[in-house]
A and B are shown apart, each in its own frame.
Chain A
């Protein structure tokens, strides 16, 4: 017995050693490219480092400056506005399309591919495409509105419309959420639908009492990743608007990038990065707190 046990544990040791070795690239990558820079940037955030200069320790001064920095508040509110608009809209559209693509229709995989395609278009290419769609004089959107006799908009070129325009554009990237929803829908137990049918329920009852509750973990997952992702929106400001007009689309990361690389104020930019990290942590924490109320897990304790 004893011999057998030690042989097994020897194998166990071997396995765990290999496990660690094989996981090492990921672990090292995380340490070197994520944790390392994070610690470094926290240190820099306590200094007044300007590229080329000598950093000196200034404590929390960068964070104090931020409280009075108009552009910090502006960029934070613009980004929050964008998140509040883009995330729910993306979820609804992704969910609705996943429901449609979960039906048994001819050429299903073709449709799934087509609806996923926009996600594969490189971010910058789609930004350039949307600049044309939003063109107030000759763009697709205003032409359609004009033909329908509806009021047109200045889209990207007005302070009020620029963020809503970018929100509309963001829905184009529903593909990833849709695929995850689709996977979630495949996992909803068939027998529950049968039970509803036996009880005389129709399509709405099936959706309301089976699909929706069973999908809440997937919705929650997409919500959290969506919020984290949109808080870090950058491409649109960078490619399409340069933060304008009048800073109306000055997204947080774009402001941070500008601070770091055109003003070369690395210390302050690092502080900005840490504040965003805290904000995202806090929002995520609140979402998890709130999740207890509405997310249903079939297996208790699976959360």
Chain B
């Protein structure tokens, strides 16, 4: 439940936002002043003045600017201006909403999106599905429904979770690469064994050797990911879930889920192959940099990392996640939605334009994956965004096929009251992460705290 470029409902961890944003730690200092919210009133009649509000790295900023310029050059009676907000997105958006100066099209976290939709502030896209068939043929879990025939939009793009690694570390240790096909996915034990062979302390000793110094470790085998998008695919792979199908019963203390969390904790405190939160630090470098500097050999992280990887000179590889019972990853991302106003037709045009792979090069550069099914099924369509230098050969099986056949929806994208749930969930997961309590203990204690907050799922419907 953390906002990176696309996902995330609440932005609890600004660190991850920064990480992806590729900003230096000092970027924290430059919170955008609220005073800078120069809202432009859209003039009635004549030309429609639109605003597009978004977050992301400076790279994403440029790509979006290019897309908006393209839109402007094609439109005679509408023009759009960017409202780039890399930090404190919710703060600024809330201020704009409160002062009735909302943008026209905006990235929104799930919780905010549903709230604004229920308050009647967002365009319902259901009536537009006929006019825009490409909006009707997207992957089913990418839609944000807030009632029967009520659609606030879809994800901005798609993302899945993968196993990234530095090929050089594998070569040095003489270990096989992680598999790039779902059918050959490692078991958890294989992952741990491999990670053990890739972990070294300052004197080159491995965790299984005597005299291993747990305090000063040069290279960790694997960076475990305790974000919800890090553990949820593993829980689903083991047949567990966060809540039941009614969305009112907490299931994270089931044996299947407990096993996953205990395994994750054991990576750090039992097998010593993963950095603890203290060893990672609160201002850790990006996954790409940590792999590049051989601080870690493997990392569980999102597809969006590819942008950084492709820009770096790191010899990286992509594998599928380890599998318990079924090879599983998750597909998810934050929503893009449109605010209602005087010129909804133009707003919808901009909406349809903003993430069209024909106009935005973020697909080719690796940050985003398309939403429409054909980009995962049709060879020519697949080639249109993956046949380039940024996408390595294993991308087809490890990402395209993996997404189409093995991705499940992320729970916090459809669950009601997800922001409040996250505020209880996050501290509890931190307790597992810091190794103070066993997973079962924490998750059992969590059940009575989460269940009063559960209000069921938002609907989903067939198209």
Asked whether A262 is an interface residue with its Cβ less than 8 Å from the other chain, the reply is: yes
The interface bits of chain A over 103-145 (1 if a CB of B lies within 8 angstroms of the residue's CB, else 0) are: 0000000000000000000101101100110011100000000
Q: Is the CB of B29 within 8 A of A52?
A: no
Asked whether B286 is an interface residue with its Cβ less than 8 Å from the other chain, the reply is: no
* With A131-B281, A131-B283 as contacts: A52 and B434 at CB distance below 8 Å: no
Q: Is the CB of A246 within 8 A of B428?
A: yes
Q: Is the CB of A247 within 8 A of B11?
A: no
Asked whether A230 is an interface residue with its Cβ less than 8 Å from the other chain, the reply is: no
Residue in chain A with minimal CB distance to B426 = A244
Q: Is the CB of B119 within 8 A of A137?
A: no
Partner of A52, one of B12, B121, B420, B423: B121
Q: Is the CB of B94 within 8 A of A245?
A: no
Residue in chain A with minimal CB distance to B278 = A157
Q: Is the CB of A262 within 8 A of B436?
A: no
* With A128-B28, A157-B434 as contacts: A136 and B116 at CB distance below 8 Å: no
Report whether over half of chain B's contact residues are helix, strand or loop; otherwise say mixed: helix
Chain A residues with CB under 8 A of B426:
244
Q: Is the CB of A122 within 8 A of B276?
A: no
The interface bits of chain A over 51-62 (1 if a CB of B lies within 8 angstroms of the residue's CB, else 0) are: 111000000000
Chain B residues with CB under 8 A of A50:
115
Q: Is the CB of A247 within 8 A of B115?
A: no
Give, as a whole number of angstroms, the nearest-CB distance from B457 to chain A: 20
Q: Is the CB of B28 within 8 A of A263?
A: no
Chain A residues with CB under 8 A of B10:
262
Complex CA–CA separation, A131 to B152 (angstroms):
41
Q: Is the CB of A137 within 8 A of B427?
A: no
Asked whether A273 is an interface residue with its Cβ less than 8 Å from the other chain, the reply is: no
Asked whether A154 is an interface residue with its Cβ less than 8 Å from the other chain, the reply is: yes
The interface bits of chain B over 424-448 (1 if a CB of A lies within 8 angstroms of the residue's CB, else 0) are: 0011101101101000000000000
Chain B residues with CB under 8 A of A242:
12-15
Asked whether B91 is an interface residue with its Cβ less than 8 Å from the other chain, the reply is: yes
Chain A residues with CB under 8 A of B28:
124, 127-128, 239
Give, as a whole number of angstroms, the nearest-CB distance from B387 to chain A: 40
* With A128-B26, A137-B215, A264-B115 as contacts: A52 and B278 at CB distance below 8 Å: no
Partner of A261, one of B94, B276, B423: B94
Q: Is the CB of A157 within 8 A of B15?
A: no
Asked whether B384 is an interface residue with its Cβ less than 8 Å from the other chain, the reply is: no
The interface bits of chain A over 149-170 (1 if a CB of B lies within 8 angstroms of the residue's CB, else 0) are: 0000011111100000000000
Q: Is the CB of B430 within 8 A of A245?
A: yes
Give, as a whole number of angstroms, the nearest-CB distance from B91 to chain A: 4
Q: Residue among A71, A122, A242, A264 with the most chain B CB within 10 A?
A: A264
Q: Residue among A124, A125, A258, A262 with the most chain B CB within 10 A?
A: A262
Residue in chain B with minimal CB distance to A263 = B419
Asked whether B98 is an interface residue with its Cβ less than 8 Å from the other chain, the reply is: yes
Q: Residue among A53, A128, A157 with the most chain B CB within 10 A?
A: A157
Residue in chain A with minimal CB distance to B100 = A52
Q: Which of B275-319 contact A (CB under 8 A)?
A: 276-279, 281-283
Partner of A157, one of B97, B277, B428: B277
* With A52-B97, A131-B283, A137-B278 as contacts: A124 and B427 at CB distance below 8 Å: no
Complex CA–CA separation, A172 to B98 (angstroms):
38
Complex CA–CA separation, A247 to B26 (angstroms):
24
Asked whether A77 is an interface residue with its Cβ less than 8 Å from the other chain, the reply is: no
Q: Is the CB of B29 within 8 A of A122?
A: yes
Chain A residues with CB under 8 A of B282:
131, 156-157, 240-241
The interface bits of chain A over 255-275 (1 if a CB of B lies within 8 angstroms of the residue's CB, else 0) are: 000101111101000000000
Q: Is the CB of B25 within 8 A of A53?
A: no
Chain A residues with CB under 8 A of B90:
261-262, 264
Chain B interface residue number, banded: 35 or more
Partner of B434, one of A158, A239, A264: A158
Q: Which of A59-117 contact B (CB under 8 A)?
A: 71
Complex CA–CA separation, A228 to B217 (angstroms):
43
Partner of B283, one of A128, A261, A263: A128
Q: Is the CB of B420 within 8 A of A263?
A: yes
Asked whether B263 is an interface residue with its Cβ less than 8 Å from the other chain, the reply is: no
Q: Residue among A52, A136, A247 with the most chain B CB within 10 A?
A: A52
Give, as a whole number of angstroms, the nearest-CB distance from B451 to chain A: 15
Give, as a whole number of angstroms, the nearest-CB distance from B337 to chain A: 13
Q: Which of B390-444 contact A (CB under 8 A)?
A: 419-420, 423, 426-428, 430-431, 433-434, 436
Asked whether B216 is an interface residue with its Cβ less than 8 Å from the other chain, the reply is: yes
Asked whether B262 is an interface residue with its Cβ less than 8 Å from the other chain, the reply is: no
Complex CA–CA separation, A131 to B285 (angstroms):
13
Q: Is the CB of B434 within 8 A of A159?
A: yes
Q: Is the CB of B26 within 8 A of A125?
A: yes
Give, as a whole number of angstroms, the nearest-CB distance from B114 to chain A: 11
* With A51-B97, A52-B119, A262-B90 as contacts: A246 and B431 at CB distance below 8 Å: yes
Q: Is the CB of A52 within 8 A of B436?
A: no
Chain A residues with CB under 8 A of B276:
157
Q: Is the CB of A262 within 8 A of B13?
A: no
Complex CA–CA separation, A104 to B121 (angstroms):
68
The interface bits of chain B over 327-353 (1 if a CB of A lies within 8 angstroms of the residue's CB, else 0) are: 000000000000000000000000000
Residue in chain B with minimal CB distance to A49 = B98
Complex CA–CA separation, A128 to B24 (angstroms):
11
Give, as a whole number of angstroms, the nearest-CB distance from A210 to chain B: 44
Chain A residues with CB under 8 A of B419:
262-263
Partner of B279, one of A124, A128, A137: A137
Residue in chain A with minimal CB distance to B434 = A245
Complex CA–CA separation, A244 to B426 (angstroms):
9
Q: Which of B1-50 contact A (CB under 8 A)?
A: 10-15, 25-26, 28-29
Chain A residues with CB under 8 A of B281:
131, 135
Complex CA–CA separation, A155 to B278 (angstroms):
9
Asked whether B112 is an interface residue with its Cβ less than 8 Å from the other chain, the reply is: yes
Chain B residues with CB under 8 A of A246:
427-428, 430-431, 434
Give, as a whole number of angstroms, the nearest-CB distance from B295 to chain A: 11
Residue in chain A with minimal CB distance to B276 = A157
Give, as a whole number of angstroms, the nearest-CB distance from B276 to chain A: 7
Chain B residues with CB under 8 A of A128:
25-26, 28, 283
Give, as a whole number of angstroms, the nearest-CB distance from A138 to chain B: 8
Chain B residues with CB under 8 A of A127:
28
Give, as a whole number of angstroms, the nearest-CB distance from B442 to chain A: 10
Write the residues of chain A forming the contact surface with B, with a CB cutoff of 8 angstroms: 50-53, 71, 122, 124-125, 127-128, 131-132, 135-137, 154-159, 239-242, 244-247, 258, 260-264, 266
The 14 listed contacts between A and B (C-beta, < 8 Å) are: A124-B29, A127-B28, A128-B26, A128-B28, A132-B283, A137-B216, A137-B278, A156-B278, A156-B282, A245-B277, A245-B430, A245-B433, A261-B91, A262-B12
Given A124-B26, A240-B282, A244-B426, 16 new contacts (CB under 8 A): A51-B97, A52-B115, A124-B29, A125-B26, A128-B26, A135-B281, A136-B279, A154-B278, A155-B278, A156-B282, A245-B434, A260-B94, A261-B88, A261-B90, A262-B90, A264-B112
